[in-house]
Amino acid sequence: MTTEPLPDEDSPSDGPVDTDLTLGHPADDGFLTPSAGMVLHRVLARTSRAFLLNDLASEPVEEDTQDCEAVDAVSVRTGPRPLWAKTAASALDATQRGKTETDRIHQSRVALRRIRSNLRTFRLALDPAWGTSLRAELAWYGGRLGESRDLHIMGEIVSGHGPEVMDPEQVALLQSEVEARMAAAMAGIEAERGGARRFQLTEQMMVLWNGPAFKPKASRPAEEVLPPMLHRAWHDLRGASRTARKEPSEANLHKLRIRLKDLRYGCETVALVEGGPARKTAKAAERLQSKLGDLHDAWFSISWLEDLARTRPDLAEPIDQLVLVQHGAAASARKGWKRELKEVERRWRGWQG
């Protein structure tokens, strides 16, 4: 089987260029053909906006419409707006602050993952001087937010399935345990939000908002530059899928899910200029990612409950019953993942060959 050629690394002499040099090229249809830098800037700006809107204190905030107009200014140049500008502008308009703290943390984590993934997938178009360090900071803060997300999942499991195997008093005791840990996790997040490291992350997000430094190749048309950069994400996914098919362990399926996220987010970015085929590949990857996410949540809940049973022997028996329920959830989530993976592969090959 032939493997797709991977993009070559830029030579050391390829330095960053100002984003003003990547605003696109005239096309025969009268629209401005977007450059790679133009598309990446819009995606990164949109996603950093989602993060900054949601990772704030719980008080209501007013959006800065002047900044929104600045980010959307590039699409004004396209007049009636071609596919890429319509799609990106709609996504920008849809960016909202979540109504609850749980929603806001979820939106923040999604934004962090999307930025980190795009920085990795399209790193050959970006100045590496700051991209690598930013990805590390995104992983750090995403991990902190993930603690509360895991406890939210546990709260849903206890309230949803607890009454099936426990009496009301036991359910209440478990819920109070989850709530106490959630309060501690949220206190930790609030402390981080007021710290110097989180402040520096905000400054780095503003670089994405205003426009990061790109390499010279980012001034070329997006439809020429961005799709080949997906081959690395596809190559990594193929490696993870071979390993998972051979040994579908928890660790291997988790790795596959991470690689699916990279392919999905990359395809969603490329879909701004490629349209349907890229979007359908992204949807197929998202479906399998979601299935494996449910499996990961079930496995996490089993581990969490077993740890709790060791510290709360008074609840060991009902916890064991809840663990059995979650083993059933894990078995259900595992069903059909290979079939879904074949669909991802079919979509990719139908598009990229």
pTM listed for this prediction = 0.81
Tell me, yes or no, whether 106 lies in a domain: yes
Tell me, yes or no, whether 42 lies in a domain: yes
- Is the domain of 76 the same as that of 56? yes
- Is the domain of 239 the same as that of 301? yes
Q: Which pLDDT value is given to residue 95?
A: 59
Tell me, yes or no, whether 1 lies in a domain: no
Q: Which pLDDT value is given to residue 85?
A: 44
Q: Which pLDDT value is given to residue 20?
A: 46
- Is the domain of 48 the same as that of 192? yes
Contact 321, 306 (CB under 8 A): no
Q: Which pLDDT value is given to residue 264?
A: 97
Q: Which pLDDT value is given to residue 99?
A: 85
- Is the domain of 118 the same as that of 203? yes
Q: Which pLDDT value is given to residue 207?
A: 87
Phi, psi of 276 (to 5 degrees): -50, -55
Q: Which pLDDT value is given to residue 80?
A: 42
Tell me, yes or no, whether 314 lies in a domain: yes
Tell me, yes or no, whether 47 lies in a domain: yes
User: What's the total number of domains in the chain?
Assistant: 2
Q: Which pLDDT value is given to residue 319?
A: 92
Most distant CA pair in the chain, distance: 74
Q: Which pLDDT value is given to residue 81?
A: 43
- Is the domain of 208 the same as that of 225? no
Ordered mean pLDDT values, 10 residues apiece, the chain (353 residues): 42 44 46 84 93 73 43 37 46 66 91 95 87 88 93 94 90 93 94 92 89 90 95 97 96 97 97 92 97 96 94 89 95 95 96 86
Q: Which of 212, 245, 266 is the last residue of a domain?
A: 212
- Is the domain of 205 the same as that of 260? no
The tens digit of pLDDT for each residue in 83-115 reads 444 444 454 445 578 888 888 999 999 999 999
- Is the domain of 198 the same as that of 241? no
Rounded to whole angstroms, the Cα distance separating 253 from 266 reads 20
Based on its alpha-carbon atoms, the radius of gyration of the chain, rounded to whole angstroms, reads 22
Tell me, yes or no, whether 345 lies in a domain: yes
- Is the domain of 241 the same as that of 309? yes
Rounded to whole angstroms, the Cα distance separating 328 from 88 reads 40
- Is the domain of 204 the same as that of 294? no
Give the chain's mean pLDDT.
83
Q: Which residues contact 257 (CB under 8 A, 6 or more apart)?
A: 288, 289, 292, 293, 296
Range of the domain at 321: 221-353
- Is the domain of 226 the same as that of 208? no
- Is the domain of 302 the same as that of 208? no
The DSSP annotation for 25-85 comes to EE-TTSSEEPBHHHHHHHHHHHHHHHHHHHSS-SS-----HHHHHHHTHHHHTTTT--HHH
- Is the domain of 99 the same as that of 246? no
Q: Which of 177, 212, 247 is the last residue of a domain?
A: 212
